[in-house]
């Protein structure tokens, strides 16, 4: 909630509270605990290239620990709806947390970051902003597209994957970690997006739903090269002392994503929902599908 004051805020809450000294002091205490827990839970920082290397290798066959593998092969339409609801707490503001790092970079790193963010924000076309594409996906799945609508339904494991971006983004001292997070996301996005697009097509989710992930298959394959060569490479050429922070950002991202994945798969394999509040029936969506059937 405190981080959200730096984004779109809340209805009925004064914008001036974004910089309220008492709220910032409380946020600092929470951040200290979160940051310390991450440092304790991930391996000691490695070389940045060594941290990224495992992410560049796509496992052969079906990965039993992967949500996207599960959804591609066995996922139901309802499970895809639950996954989209969980991911909406980030994807409806996709790329916003990473934008905090732009004024903290220079030269090749800044140019590469801006080039990628330009694509994320629709390359000048409002209808192609990735957050809008995800809203279109949600519409195809009969979900509420309101910004933050599913926050109360999200488990702690999902909230942590979003909070970590704001933690890294709002602190200049953690700019290397944010670049590492960004690199991890871009490197892992194309293969998982390909599987999720296939899952959505298999279950008949709708063209807008598949389009979001199709876009990420194409765009992020290019972004991966730019982020590794220009963003990470440029940052470390200017600031080699940030290499451990870049590695930490990669490792923290992997740790939190794997923890969320375990939570989701455990729920599905036990026939339950990974959401704290189960989704309601998609009445408008069902009506539309029945009309077109």
pLDDT per residue over 169-194, tens digit each? 999 999 999 999 999 999 988 899 99
Residue 65 above 90 pLDDT?
A: no
20-24, 33-37, 215-219, 220-224: which has the minimum mean pLDDT? 220-224
CB atoms within 10 A of CB 6: 16
Tokens representing residue 230 in the block: 């220009």
Please indicate, yes or no, if residue 32 is contained in any of the structural domains: no
Mean pLDDT of the chain: 91
The model's pLDDT over 106-141, given as tens digits with 9 standing for 90+, comes to: 999 999 999 999 999 999 999 999 999 999 999 999
Whether the pLDDT of residue 148 is over 80: the answer is yes
pLDDT at residue 293 above 80? no
pLDDT at 285 over 60: no
Angle CA 227–229–232, to nearest 5:
60
CA R_g for the chain: 19
Does 38 reside within a domain?
no
The pLDDT value recorded for residue 62 is 57
What's the half-sphere exposure (Cβ side, CA atoms, 13 Å) at 241? Answer: 2
Q: What percent of the chain has pLDDT over 70?
A: 94
Exposure string for 268-290, b = 16+ CB within 10 A, e = fewer: beeeebbbeeebeebeebeeeee
pLDDT for the residue 280: 81
Q: Report yes or no on 28 lying in a domain.
A: no
pTM of the model: 0.91
125 Cβ contact partners less than 8 Å away, ≥ 6 residues apart:
none
Strands (E), the chain: none
pLDDT in tens, 201-253: 999 998 988 899 998 887 767 788 899 999 999 999 999 999 999 999 999 99
- The verdict on residue 21 lying in a domain is no
Whether 43 maps to a domain, the answer reads no
pLDDT of residue 245: 96
Q: What sign for the dihedral angle of Cα 31, 37, 40, 42?
A: negative
In a domain, 45, yes or no: no
Residue 31 lies in a domain: no
Judge whether residue 95 has pLDDT over 90. yes
pLDDT band at 291 (very low <50, low <70, confident <90, very high): low
pLDDT at residue 237, rounded to an integer = 96
Q: What is the pLDDT of residue 246?
A: 96
- Distance in angstroms (rounded) separating the CA atoms of residues 69 and 191: 10
Q: How many folded domains does the chain comprise? A: 1
Residue 133 lies in a domain: yes
Q: Specify the CATH number for the domain of residue 187.
A: 1.20.910.10
Split at pLDDT 50, 70, 90, the class of 283 is low
User: What pLDDT was estimated at residue 168?
Assistant: 98
Q: Give the domain extent around 188.
A: 73-286
H-helix or E-strand containing 192?
helix 175-202
- Quick one: pLDDT at residue 222? 77
């Amino acid at each position: 909630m405190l981080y959200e004051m730096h984004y779109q805020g809340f209805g009925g809450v004064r914008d001036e509270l974004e910089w309220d000294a008492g709220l910032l002091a409380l946020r600092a205490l929470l951040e200290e605990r979160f940051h310390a827990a991450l440092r304790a839970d991930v391996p000691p920082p490695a070389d940045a290239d060594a941290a990224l290397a495992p992410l560049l290798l796509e496992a052969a066959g079906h990965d039993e620990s992967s949500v996207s593998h599960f959804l591609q092969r066995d996922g139901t339409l309802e499970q895809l709806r639950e996954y989209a609801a969980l991911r909406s707490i980030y994807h409806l503001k996709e790329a916003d947390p990473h934008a905090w790092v732009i004024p903290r970079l220079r030269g090749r790193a800044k140019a590469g970051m801006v080039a990628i963010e330009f694509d994320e924000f629709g390359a000048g076309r409002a209808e192609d902003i990735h957050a809008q594409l995800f809203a279109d996906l949600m519409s195809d799945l009969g979900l509420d597209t309101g910004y933050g609508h599913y926050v109360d339904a999200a488990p702690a494991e999902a909230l942590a994957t979003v909070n970590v971006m704001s933690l890294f983004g709002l602190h200049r001292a953690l700019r290397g970690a944010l670049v590492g997070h960004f690199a991890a996301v871009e490197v892992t996005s194309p293969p998982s997006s390909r599987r999720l697009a296939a899952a959505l097509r298999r279950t008949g989710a709708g063209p807008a739903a598949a389009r979001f992930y199709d876009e990420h298959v194409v765009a992020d394959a290019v972004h991966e090269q730019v982020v590794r060569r220009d963003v990470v490479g440029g940052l470390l050429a200017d600031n080699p002392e940030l290499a451990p922070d870049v590695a930490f950002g990669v490792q923290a991202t992997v740790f939190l994503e794997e923890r969320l994945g375990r939570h989701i798969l455990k729920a599905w394999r036990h026939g339950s929902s990974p959401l704290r509040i189960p989704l309601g029936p998609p009445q408008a969506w069902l009506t539309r599908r029945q009309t077109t059937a």
